């Protein structure tokens, strides 16, 4: 392909990619979800503010989840101020660079047209557009995986040794961004020499030298991460101290299907509640004070004991979730494509992507790897994403990390089909189409096994409250929503609505409903205490203020308890 034509095509694709994301961002900044971020979004926003020195916080709290995104947000807040739209605008640019990396990877493979096709697919992928306007690290992880692929492709043809050291450091960054990407470390150690040996033969001493540099590069950030975690939580490990907790959430006797689940002792209004709930329960069971690392180890042992006792149940769950990876349905976690489409004309216009990306991308990568070892540099991170999805949470934002890899695979397949058509290779064309149809059928079957995602109307109402739009919040809360489950958050929103209207009896009724639905919600107990105080039920107010303090002794809870005449 003519280089000038390729550059013009790349410019058009990237311009389209950025334009689509900016148009969506214009809608997203007026969406209630910007004002009511999901639990993980709230955690990372507070993490970033703490890093930037703009808010206080418990350092140990920020050792619970992968740190890189929190530090990236902190750097942005420090340099450009704490404005949320600035972060989202930068993420739109970052996602556009992911699109560029797909095009560059295609050219690196000697398939420039395939790279352009893959980049076009990614530019118009609805989930990529959606996640770029959230405070989740999904956009950064997708970019990191695509950059890992591109650097790997360049590295295997390099004659110099020092880039291997830098790639090792980059692999460490990937681990800091998402702990499960630690699987990329052995993948790099095994695959790079093997793929390079197909390009040209190198002396064994040279191969060993480069592997040594690669591992030395990996060691630097891993040691820094281990030092950080030891300093913040007492756990000497490059991985955060949430592994045991997450493993227990998935694998326990109360969750035989290994789905997204939270025990009664750990409410999920944000990850901090999970930390405190799991820590308190571990200490109650052991009868002793535990460090964060000891809490993590306790729940990891509990999960492994369940896995050892129920191998067939666990294997069945993992197999089921592996098939669900192919589903066209987007299972919500923190953010939902179905919900975002209510407020974004761009997302309503773009089709749901995953089924056809899966049907095109997997065959494209299989065909590449069959003829070219470099294909395994794309398949390896894809397998890491699938493993994470299957072993842990089978939800959309964890699957999204594979989207740029599948888009590249889709571009490779479309380019292959075009080549077969031009060469009149009808048997090859028919065989490739048949492969696509098989994977499309798998996706269709998997879609029927996954329930459709509903709308979290309570989150929308809370967003309107935080925007100060009480009329819109009231409309959401007073409108019937057939099939909606009544949650504690819905009841809390109704309580706030009646509180704002001065109807404290009704507010207390709904806050009481919230505490019954979620007995460990300290926020609901606190608000119920305030409402009961307004109605004159001082004894009831004291009881629920004490419960709020016992669950989470926040200063405002203690102050309320004292104002009610309690010690």
For residue 100, the SS3 value is helix
Residue whose C-alpha is closest to residue 46's, from 241, 233, 271, 231: 271
pLDDT score at 307:
96
CA–CA distance, 550 with 33 (Å, rounded to integer): 31
Domains of the chain: 3-238+327-449 (no CATH), 243-309 (no CATH), 457-563 (1.25.40.10)
Residue written as token pair 């110099």? 160
For residue 168, the SS3 value is helix
CA–CA distance, 92 with 324 (Å, rounded to integer): 29
**What six digits make up the tokens of 25?**
């961002």
- Sign, CA dihedral 105-108-114-120, equals positive
pLDDT score at 276:
84
CA–CA distance, 353 with 328 (Å, rounded to integer): 7
Beta bridge partners of 215: none
pLDDT score at 268:
65
For residue 52, the SS3 value is coil
Q: Which residues contact 217 (CB under 8 A, 6 or more apart)?
A: 164, 165, 166, 167, 168, 169, 170, 171, 172
Output the CA–CA distances (angstroms, integers) from residue 169 to 165, 172, 185, 213, 223, in the order listed.
7, 5, 10, 10, 11
pLDDT score at 333:
80
Residues 409-429 as b/e (b if ≥16 CB within 10 A, e otherwise) read bbbbbbbbbeebeeeeeeeeb
pLDDT in tens, the chain (567 residues): 788 999 999 999 999 999 999 999 999 999 999 999 988 999 999 999 999 999 888 888 888 899 999 999 999 999 999 889 999 999 999 999 999 999 999 999 999 999 999 999 999 999 999 999 999 999 999 999 999 999 999 999 888 889 999 999 999 999 999 999 999 999 999 999 999 887 666 677 788 899 999 999 999 999 999 999 888 888 889 999 888 999 999 999 999 998 888 888 876 667 888 888 899 899 999 999 988 888 999 999 999 999 999 999 999 999 999 999 999 988 878 888 999 999 999 999 998 889 999 999 999 999 999 999 999 999 999 999 999 999 998 889 999 999 999 999 999 999 999 988 988 888 888 999 999 999 999 999 999 888 877 888 999 999 999 999 999 999 999 998 888 888 899 999 999 999 999 999 999 999 999 999 989 889 999 999 999 999 999 999 999 999 999 888 888 999 888 888 866
Q: What is the DSSP string of 485-532?
A: PP-HHHHHHHHHHHHHTT-HHHHHHHHHHHHHH-TT-HHHHHHHHHHH
**What six digits make up the tokens of 65?**
């989840």
CA–CA distance, 388 with 248 (Å, rounded to integer): 15
Alpha helix segments (H runs only) across 29-67:
32-35, 39-51
For residue 490, the SS3 value is helix
Residues 172-211 as b/e (b if ≥16 CB within 10 A, e otherwise) read bebbbbbbbbbbbbebbbebbbebbeeeeeeeeeebeebb
């Amino acid at each position: 392909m003519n280089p000038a034509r390729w550059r013009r095509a790349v410019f058009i694709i990237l311009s389209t990619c950025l334009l689509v994301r900016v148009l969506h961002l214009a809608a997203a900044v007026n969406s209630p979800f910007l004002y009511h971020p999901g639990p993980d979004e709230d955690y990372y926003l507070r993490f970033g503010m703490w890093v930037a020195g703009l808010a206080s916080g418990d350092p140990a709290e920020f050792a619970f989840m992968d740190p890189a995104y929190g530090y990236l947000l902190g750097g942005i807040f420090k340099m450009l101020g704490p404005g949320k739209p600035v972060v989202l605008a930068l993420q739109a640019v970052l996602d556009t660079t992911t699109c560029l990396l797909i095009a560059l990877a295609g050219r690196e493979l000697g398939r420039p047209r395939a790279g352009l096709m893959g980049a076009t697919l990614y530019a118009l992928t609805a989930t990529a557009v959606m996640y770029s306007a959230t405070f989740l690290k999904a956009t950064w992880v997708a970019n990191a995986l695509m950059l890992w692929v591109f650097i790997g492709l360049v590295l295997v043809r390099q004659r110099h040794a020092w880039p291997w050291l830098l790639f090792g450091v980059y692999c460490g960054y990937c681990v800091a961004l998402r702990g499960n990407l630690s699987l990329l470390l052995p993948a790099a150690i095994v695959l790079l020499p093997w793929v390079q040996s197909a390009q040209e033969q190198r002396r064994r001493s040279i191969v060993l030298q480069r592997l040594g540099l690669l591992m030395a590069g990996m060691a630097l950030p891993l040691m820094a991460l281990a030092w950080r975690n030891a300093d913040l939580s007492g756990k000497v490990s490059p991985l955060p101290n949430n592994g045991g907790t997450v493993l227990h959430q998935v694998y326990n006797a109360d969750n035989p299907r290994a789905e997204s689940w939270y025990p009664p002792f750990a409410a999920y209004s944000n990850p901090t509640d999970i930390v405190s709930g799991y820590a308190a329960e571990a200490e109650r069971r052991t009868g002793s004070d535990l460090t964060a690392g000891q809490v993590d180890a306790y729940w990891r042992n509990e999960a492994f004991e369940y896995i050892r006792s129920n191998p067939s149940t666990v294997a069945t769950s993992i197999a089921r979730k592996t098939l669900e990876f192919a589903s066209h349905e987007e299972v919500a976690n923190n953010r939902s494509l179905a919900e975002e489409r209510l407020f974004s004309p761009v997302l309503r216009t773009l089709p749901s992507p995953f089924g056809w990306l899966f049907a095109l991308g997997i065959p494209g990568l299989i065909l590449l790897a069959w003829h070219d070892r470099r294909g395994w540099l794309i398949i390896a991170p894809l397998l890491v994403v699938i493993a994470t999805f299957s072993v842990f949470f089978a939800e959309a934002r964890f699957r999204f990390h594979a989207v740029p890899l599948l888009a590249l695979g889709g571009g490779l397949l479309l380019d292959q089909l075009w080549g077969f058509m031009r060469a009149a290779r009808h048997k090859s064309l028919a065989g490739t189409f048949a492969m696509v149809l098989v994977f499309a059928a798998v996706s269709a079957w998997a879609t029927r096994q996954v329930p459709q995602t509903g709308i979290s109307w309570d989150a929308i109402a809370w967003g309107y409250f935080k925007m100060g739009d009480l009329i819109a919040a009231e409309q959401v809360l007073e409108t019937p929503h057939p099939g909606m489950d009544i949650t504690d958050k819905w009841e809390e929103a109704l309580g706030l609505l009646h509180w704002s209207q001065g109807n404290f009896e009704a507010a207390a009724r709904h806050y009481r409903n919230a505490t019954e639905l979620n007995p460990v919600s300290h926020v609901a107990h606190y608000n119920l205490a305030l409402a009961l105080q307004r109605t004159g039920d001082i004894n009831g107010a004291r009881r629920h203020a004490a419960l709020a303090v016992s669950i989470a002794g926040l200063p405002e809870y203690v102050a309320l308890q004292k104002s009610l005449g309690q010690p």
